[in-house]
């Protein structure tokens, strides 16, 4: 009797390609479920799809078909009689989840994102960004003129910061500083986590006026009032004075090298005045590995390719070169429990 192998056979290339292309259905299903707030009406206890549809003002059969698809992707569990329950993965789309990604899913499916990716082939052909091709302007100029989508973007950045903040705190030591400025800090989620852990530290939340105006109402700084200052402005023009440390999360990756050099040079100028020896600049960014394996940094790099004007994820060598061009030098790159690394630089001696 001949032996047969129990090793599962890989699907043929055409089936693998179809699975990749079917990612469109998965993405839009996840994004639509998040936008409609469906997980907010669910828990780990199974519920009839008719009840979920009634509470969420959706059409029951359409909702059933989407939940059925996403159950196969482990966002939900499907029981008998069209009952569905949340899995830990699906629960991340709840608004009240401590690591919620709902606003990220909403932002990724906003019109400016979809229209930008519709021009991706032209982005590859010409190097032009998607917002310019779709709307004739930079993404941040578009978001400034479309406050609803701009608000979605800011909430998505807060979602990112919720998880990244804990990861950054796990590997970075801010106890040696007295005044830390978060430049491009959005609504202040990351800075608030740092201040809560370092009771001696003063913080400066620095961003554009329309962004910072939404920060106080979030309540992020309720545990560190009296140690937080709000400053308005553009980090291309100036950065807060009197700080011995600056931090930026997912900011430098939005810009080309010349723009990044300009931001970092302004920080260097202030550190030379305030703390030339102990002063530091921290970037919280993904780092592209030199090896060929897949990873989140390479995926996020495509977002930068399509949606920003010259932005990119960088390798360790590229970060070192960027710092050097601004009169700084790379001190360390520390991986965190998340895909984000803490990249530390100081004034070049």
**What does each C-alpha distance from 301 to 26, 108, 255, 314 come to in angstroms?**
21, 15, 12, 8
Q: Selecting from 3.40.50.300, 1.10.10.10, 3.30.465.10, 1.10.3720.10, what CATH number does the domain 14-97 have? A: 1.10.10.10
Query: Does residue 336 register a pLDDT over 60?
Result: yes
Please report, rounded to a whole number, the percentage of residues in the chain having pLDDT higher than 70.
98
Query: Does residue 74 register a pLDDT over 80?
Result: yes
**3-class state of residue 340 by DSSP:** coil
167-205 pLDDT tens trace = 888 999 999 999 999 999 999 999 999 999 999 999 999
Query: Does residue 164 register a pLDDT over 80?
Result: no
Query: What is this structure's pTM?
Result: 0.90
CATH of domain 161-289+306-347: 3.40.50.150
Query: Does residue 43 register a pLDDT over 90?
Result: yes
H-helix or E-strand containing 195?
helix 189-197
Least confident of 3-12, 27-36, 299-308: 3-12
Phi/psi at 182 (5° precision): -100, 105
Please report, rounded to a whole number, the percentage of residues in the chain having pLDDT higher than 90.
88
* The pair of three-digit structure tokens given for residue 164, joined into one six-digit string: 């990244």
- Displacement of CA 173 from its chain's centroid (Å): 22
- DSSP of 254-313: GS-HHHHHHHHHHHHHHHHHH-TTT-EEEEEE-B--SSS---HHHHHHHHHHHHSSS---
Sign of torsion, CA 297 302 307 310?
A: positive
C-beta separation of 279 from 346 below 8 A: yes
pLDDT bracket for residue 72 (50, 70, 90): very high
Query: Does residue 2 register a pLDDT over 70?
Result: no
DSSP assigned state of 46: -
pLDDT score of 6 = 66
Q: Where in the chain is the domain with CATH 1.10.10.10?
A: 14-97
Query: Does residue 1 register a pLDDT over 50?
Result: no
Nearest to 193, CA basis, from 106, 98, 259: 98
Q: Where in the chain is the domain with CATH 3.40.50.150?
A: 161-289+306-347
**Range 100-117 average pLDDT:** 97
Alpha-carbon span 16 to 72, nearest angstrom? 17
């Amino acid at each position: 009797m001949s032996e047969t192998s129990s090793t599962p056979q890989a699907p043929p290339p055409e089936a693998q390609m179809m699975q990749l292309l079917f990612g469109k259905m998965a993405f839009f299903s996840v994004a639509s479920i998040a936008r409609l707030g469906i997980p907010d009406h669910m828990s780990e206890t199974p519920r009839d799809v008719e009840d979920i549809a009634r509470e969420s003002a959706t059409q029951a059969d359409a909702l059933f078909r989407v939940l059925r698809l996403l159950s196969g992707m482990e966002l939900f569990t499907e029981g008998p009689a069209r009952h569905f329950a949340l899995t830990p993965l699906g629960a991340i789309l709840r608004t009240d989840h401590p690591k919620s990604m709902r606003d990220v899913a909403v932002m990724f499916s906003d019109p400016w994102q979809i229209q930008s990716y519709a021009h991706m082939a032209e982005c590859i052909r010409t190097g032009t960004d998607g917002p310019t091709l779709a709307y004739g302007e930079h993404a941040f100029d578009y978001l400034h003129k479309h406050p609803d989508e701009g608000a979605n973007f800011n909430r998505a950045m807060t979602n990112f910061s919720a998880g990244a903040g804990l990861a950054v705190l796990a590997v970075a030591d801010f106890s040696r500083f007295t005044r830390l400025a978060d430049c491009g800090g959005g609504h202040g989620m990351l800075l608030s986590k740092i201040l809560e852990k370092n009771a001696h530290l003063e913080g400066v939340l620095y961003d554009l006026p329309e962004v910072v105006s939404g920060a106080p109402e979030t309540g992020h700084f309720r545990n560190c009032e009296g140690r937080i200052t709000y400053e308005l402005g553009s980090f291309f023009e100036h950065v807060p004075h009197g700080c011995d440390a600056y931090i930026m999360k997912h900011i430098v990756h939005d810009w080309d090298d010349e723009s990044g050099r300009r931001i970092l040079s302004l920080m260097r100028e202030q550190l030379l005045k305030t703390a030339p020896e102990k002063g530091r600049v921290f970037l919280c960014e993904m780092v592209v590995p030199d090896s060929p394996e897949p990873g989140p940094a390479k995926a996020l790099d495509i977002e930068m390719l399509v949606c920003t004007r010259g932005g990119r994820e960088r390798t360790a060598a590229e970060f070192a070169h960027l710092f050097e061009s601004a009169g700084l030098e790379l001190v360390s790159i520390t991986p965190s429990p998340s895909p984000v690394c803490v990249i530390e630089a100081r004034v070049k001696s």
